[in-house]
Structure 1
């Protein structure tokens, strides 16, 4: 009779060196990437969705109309303050910021503004306009900080056939 000898089998060693090298590199890269992928949110207020409080009649209801032909700044009760036609297809953000800063110096407690947007305005133009009406760069103690203009932005649709107002007083800035 033959004897069967059992072979002594040893379990193979698990080599995880390559996996550990991958983790050593991957973990810091993912941690560094988290810092750069922050989401910035802008809180919007839509007209009519606030509480039922009716503002006083003498209060300025500032409306900025954004259409491809340009930007119109006005008071919904009193009329147009300033018309800023677009130059070569580009909106005049510098002049918009200047006019809004003048209004803010006269009415420092006002924080709300209605942004009336035409249907053919692209997203980047809308965001750039919102950034312009919310704040402006100011130099304080040799460093640039953001000064507050009108941070409470409410969005509204403009009429499809909306055109810029062309009056001599609004074009010259007589309403500011």
Structure 2
């Protein structure tokens, strides 16, 4: 008679060295990538009034209109305050900032502005305009801060022919 010998059944060892090497490289790369992918949001208010409601004549309604030909700053009482034509083919955001700073000095409690944008204006110009009307860098007590101009920005379409 023959005897059958059973071999000792053993499971093979898992070789996870390659997987661990991948994790050692992948985890720090993903953690570093998280720091650089931050999203900034800007809160906007869209203009609109209830039916039958009209603004009072005493209330200043500051409007900044951006069209391909330049920038126009106006209000509801006096009309156009200042027109800023293109400077060297670019929008004059420095002139806009100075104009808004002088308006803020005269009306310090005003925080809202309507930003009218023409359909031909590109996205980067819109974002730069929004940043310009919201705040500007200032130095106070040897510290650089963002001074507030008109942080409540409402967007509107610029009327054709402006």
Please report the TM-score for the alignment, with normalisation by the length of structure 2: 0.91
Indicate the residue corresponding to 2:131 in structure 1. Answer: 131
Indicate the residue corresponding to 1:70 in structure 2. Answer: 70
Q: Distance in 2 between matches of 1:124 and 1:132?
A: 12
Question: Would you say the 8 A contact 1:68–1:89 is kept in 2?
Answer: no
Q: Distance in 2 between matches of 1:79 and 1:61?
A: 10
Question: Would you say the 8 A contact 1:119–1:160 is kept in 2?
Answer: no
1:18 maps onto 2:18 in alignment:
yes
Shift of 1:47: 0.6
1:57 maps onto 2:64 in alignment:
no
Give the length in aligned residue pairs.
161
Indicate the residue corresponding to 1:86 in structure 2. Answer: 86
Question: Would you say the 8 A contact 2:58–2:77 is kept in 1?
Answer: no
Q: Once superposed, which parts of structure 1, at least 4 consecutive aligned residues long, lie more than 4 Å away?
A: 52-55
Shift of 1:27: 1.7
Note closer, same or farther for the CA distance 1:56–1:160 as it changes in structure 2 (3 Å cut).
closer
Q: Distance in 2 between matches of 1:94 and 1:19?
A: 55
Question: Would you say the 8 A contact 1:62–1:74 is kept in 2?
Answer: yes
Matching of residues 106-125 of structure 1 within 5 Å: 106-125=106-125
Instruction: Give a deviation string over 1:77-135, Cα, whole Å, max 9, x none.
Output: 32000000012320000010000000001111100000011110000000000000000
Shift of 1:9: 2.6
Question: Would you say the 8 A contact 1:136–1:147 is kept in 2?
Answer: yes
Structure 1, unmatched stretches of 5+, are 163-176
Please report the TM-score for the alignment, with normalisation by the length of structure 1: 0.84
Indicate the residue corresponding to 1:160 in structure 2. Answer: 160
1:30 maps onto 2:20 in alignment:
no
Question: Would you say the 8 A contact 2:137–2:145 is kept in 1?
Answer: yes
Instruction: Compare relative contact order (CA 8 Å, sep 6+) and give the higher one, 1 or 2.
Output: 1
The alignment partner of 1:64 has SS state of strand
Shift of 1:25: 2.5
Q: Distance in 1 between matches of 2:148 and 2:131?
A: 11
Instruction: Give a deviation string over 1:42-75, Cα, whole Å, max 9, x none.
Output: 000011168x986542121000000010000000
1:6 maps onto 2:33 in alignment:
no
Indicate the residue corresponding to 1:173 in structure 2. Answer: none
